[in-house]
Structure formats: structure tokens, C-alpha cells
Structure 1
Amino acid sequence: MDHGIDPAWERIATWLRVHSPVTAATLRPPAPAEEVRATQNALGQPLPAELLRWWSLMDGVDDDRDYRTALTLSSGHMPLSVARVREEWADLGRFPDEDCCRPGGHHLRSAGDVTFGYCTALIPFCRSIDGGVLAVDLRPGPKRGWVMDWFAQQGTHPSDWATIGAMLTDTAQRLDRYPGPETPPRPGHPAIRDDGALIWS
């Protein structure tokens, strides 16, 4: 089951090829199976089907090399490559949230709960230029799998989307409403920069 990942991603990729080839060129091909296995082994727990399905369609962008022209979702975050997800998780998890994380992979707070520090059950899959991340919340609870927004100065909060599928569908819908270069974009809508890259107003 793709949870809407396939149609939403196809709409996004098609839009980019037509309106922003510069940004379309930053998308990496499907993630290598060995990188997915290495990341899943490093994280030590099964990853959500939505995330695995998205990686089967693309392997993020090079967020260091391509950050000026790379795809950003409507939130301003760039999708990370599978290898970068592993690196980002290891880096952020060096100092686990003492109010949540416990030995053996246990957590005091439930999925969707606000935290200040970084919880090791949050799997970062997108990053913004200012260091914020979007992460899938794998803590137990009815909101397991929700997309959370984390920033060092603000901690972890629920994002605008309950799932990765909802996030991609929202981005696709905003792109579908692109009025063209002659019309000034409204806040939260796509625009094309002078160099041909997709940006969000």
C-alpha cells in the first residue's frame, strides 16, 4: 500500500519537469537497497511503509551541494538522501531528550507529544537550511508515524501533516495551483526564481 505516495510524488515530479527543470535535476534516483538496509539497521527499528515507499521513488537531494536549487517542500524542507537520514539521526541523537528517552529504546512520551530535546524515536527525513528537520515519530501511541517538526531552539512539535502521504499531497496541490510566472504568488504558494529554481513565497 503506497498511502498516496505514488500519485502525489508523480504529480510533484511532473510539475518540476515542466516548470522547474533546474530543481527537477537535483532529485536523486531511487535509493539503493543497501543504503535502505544500512539505515534501517542503524536505527534499530522497522521504518514506516510510507517512508520506504518514497525512498523507492527517489533518494532525496544533495542538501549540501544543491541547496540553492534543490527541491523544497511547501514547508521549506529538502528531502534527505537515505544515507543522510542515517547521519542526521546519529548526530541529533547524541544527546537524547532526558524527559523522554530511556535505555532499551523505551520512551516516556507518546507519539505526537511535544518535547524540547531530540527524541531518538524521531527519524529525520527532511532538513531546512536553518537546521530544522521534519521527522517521522516512531514513539508508541495512536499518533505513531506522524510528521513532527523539530528545531533546536523550539523543540519538537506536530507539523501541519499527520503523514508523509498528506505532506506530499499538500505540496502537489499547491504546485497544481501555480498561476504562472505572470501572476504574483500568494503566501505559501510556489514561484520560480530567476535562475529557474522552485521557491515558496
Structure 2
Amino acid sequence: MKRRRGGRGRESESQCTQKTISLQTPLGTIQVSGCEAGVHTIRLLMDVAPAERNDQGHMSCEVIDDPAAVGAGPELLHCVDWLRDYFSDPRAARGPRLPQLHHPTLRGDSFSSQVLRTLLQEVRFGETVSYQHLAEMAGNPRAVRAVGGAMRRNPVPLLIPCHRVVPSSGGSGSYMGGRGNHLKVWLLAHERPGGEG
């Protein structure tokens, strides 16, 4: 069990008892952490190269930890199910509701929070948006650099699809500080209709 301490205005965060579940996915190991109220973080560990689809055209996503032993709450379990659907067939993950999110960055009223909420609500599977256009959608067309900062601080990649934000000049752009560019390319291909991860 981990207790997280928050700063000023984060009293509810400091009261969260977080659990973590690890999954083996086509992107390598992913760790999902959350409390009873919702998901706090998703970490992509980048421990293997992205996988190929199997003969049936599907990807596997297997839980490494026993969720019962971890004592995972319902939203964390729902996140695991959502990720399984996403990697098997991203179109299958469109229907079910997203897990509740409980990271303080996502509950605040900062511009970063607004950008992340806008991205979550407005940019769909198989779509991309430029940093410039996302700044406009979030209400501040001149805040392109701030949008980039919000993408770097996104606590729940995949659920909030920062991989769908690309430069206006073309190309896929940077992901995870440039270390995960190959993952961004894979994710964008995975979400395209008939796309190959």
C-alpha cells in the first residue's frame, strides 16, 4: 500500500490509498495505479519493442499481478478491462465508459487540466490534432507551448490520448520526451481503421 502526499489544495490526494496493477501489453509492461475513487497514473515502462499482431489480428494484454491479491478497486479493474479491449481492438474500447480519473492534475482548473479534458472529450480514435489546434480548442490559441507541457505531464497516457497530438508541420512528433516516439507511431497505426500496430 502506498500513501501519496499532496501539496496545498490536495487533501483528497493525500487520503488516497493507491494500488498498482502491472500488465504485459504490446507496448511492454504498463503499470496502472489508482484508489477507490479512480485511476491516478498509467506508466509505460518501455521494456520491450512494440509487438506485432498475432495470426488472428489481435494483440494480447495480460495482467501480471493478481488483482484480488493487490486489492484493486472497481475503477482500477475497469481500467484493466478497458486496456485489454484497447489492445485487442481499439474500436472495442470506444463503447465502454472510461474509468474514473482521480489524479489532482485532472481535477484542477489550470490550463493544463483544461487541455487534457479537451483532448479526452474532443479527439476520437483514429484522429489526430495539432498542438496549435488543441490550444485553440482549450481556449488559448497562443498557448501552444503550454499544450506541449500538458502533454508531458499527462498522468494517464492512453486514457487521455496525448499520442494523438502532432505537430502542424507534419510527422508524429515527440512522445515521452522523445524516448517513446516509436510507441507513438505504433499507437497511431493501431488506432487507424485496419491499422497495423
Normalising to structure 2: TM-score of the pair? 0.24
Higher relative contact order (CA 8 A, sep 6+): 1
**Larger relative helix fraction:** 2
